[in-house]
Amino acid sequence: VIAGGEPALRLSVEGAEDDIDQAVRDMQALGLSSGDVVVGIAASGRTPYTLAAMRYARAIDAKVGCIVNNPGTAMEETAHYPIVVLCGPEVITGSTRLKSGTAQKLVLNMITTASMVRLGKVYENLMIDVAPSNSKLTARAVGIIREITDADEATAQQALAAYGGVKAATFALLTGLQGDDVHDALAASDGHVKRALHTFKKRQES
């Protein structure tokens, strides 16, 4: 969610960052609940739109974090989990797209990478949930299957075609399971291949 909506990604939407009522409406449109996490992002730490969104999230008992570049701000005080990245003055005074924006992007990369790992979308250092939506990604998917399973290219391609995804194809080749047994095992492990493999091996040993 960004102040000014999608057009703000391409054009300047004047005054959008001051519209606290729109911030609340945007949060409500997401259907937030106490099980969600909202992370506010603003270099200054006091952008009205972002602060209003964070306060709304707190009001419904959602967990709230923030990434700011100034200490002791209202956003830092509002967040359960504040992240304050001190970059020093910008080379061009006030141009926070430079150091501040770059630093925030690095922090966001850390958060999203850790989240994807915890959600089971990474196996070792491989993107095991990559969607084979074009020729480049299909080739990458086949390569990932081969690297994990030591299968030849034809076998990896066949498994990917049969199961439609890297996770299921990989799990099938590693275990010898087929069809619904593969999907059921992954569903039981919340999509975590390593967890599913651990359960499979324990059953084999018992």
If asked whether residues 68 and 139 sit together in one domain, one would say: no
Q: What is the pLDDT of residues 19-62, one digit of tens each?
A: 999 999 999 999 999 999 999 999 999 999 999 999 999 999 99
DSSP classification of residue 92? S
Which has the minimum average pLDDT: 7-11, 28-32, 111-115?
A: 7-11
The per-residue pLDDT for 115 is: 95
In the numeric block, which tokens belong to residue 183? 């999907």
The per-residue pLDDT for 98 is: 92
Q: What is the pLDDT of residues 71-99, one digit of tens each?
A: 999 999 999 999 999 999 999 998 999 99
- Which residue, 121, 132, 124, is CA-closest to 190? 121
In the numeric block, which tokens belong to residue 91? 């080379």
Domain limits for position 19: 6-118
Of the pLDDT bands very low, low, confident and very high (cuts 50, 70, 90), residue 105 is very high
In the numeric block, which tokens belong to residue 135? 């020729």
Q: What is the pLDDT of residues 138-153, one digit of tens each?
A: 999 999 999 999 999 9
If asked whether residues 66 and 145 sit together in one domain, one would say: no
Whether the CB-CB separation of 167 and 186 falls below 8 Å is answered with yes
Of the pLDDT bands very low, low, confident and very high (cuts 50, 70, 90), residue 206 is confident
If asked whether residues 149 and 187 sit together in one domain, one would say: yes
Residue 115 has phi, psi (to 5 degrees) of -65, -45
Number of domains in the chain: 2
Whether the CB-CB separation of 3 and 13 falls below 8 Å is answered with yes
Strands 81-84 and 63-68: parallel
Residue 157 has phi, psi (to 5 degrees) of -65, -40
If asked whether residues 49 and 94 sit together in one domain, one would say: yes
- Which residue, 142, 137, 136, is CA-closest to 158? 142
If asked whether residues 188 and 163 sit together in one domain, one would say: yes
Q: Is residue 123 part of a domain?
A: no
Q: What is the CATH number of the domain that holds 62?
A: 3.40.50.10490
Integer Cα distance of 128 and 9 in angstroms: 30
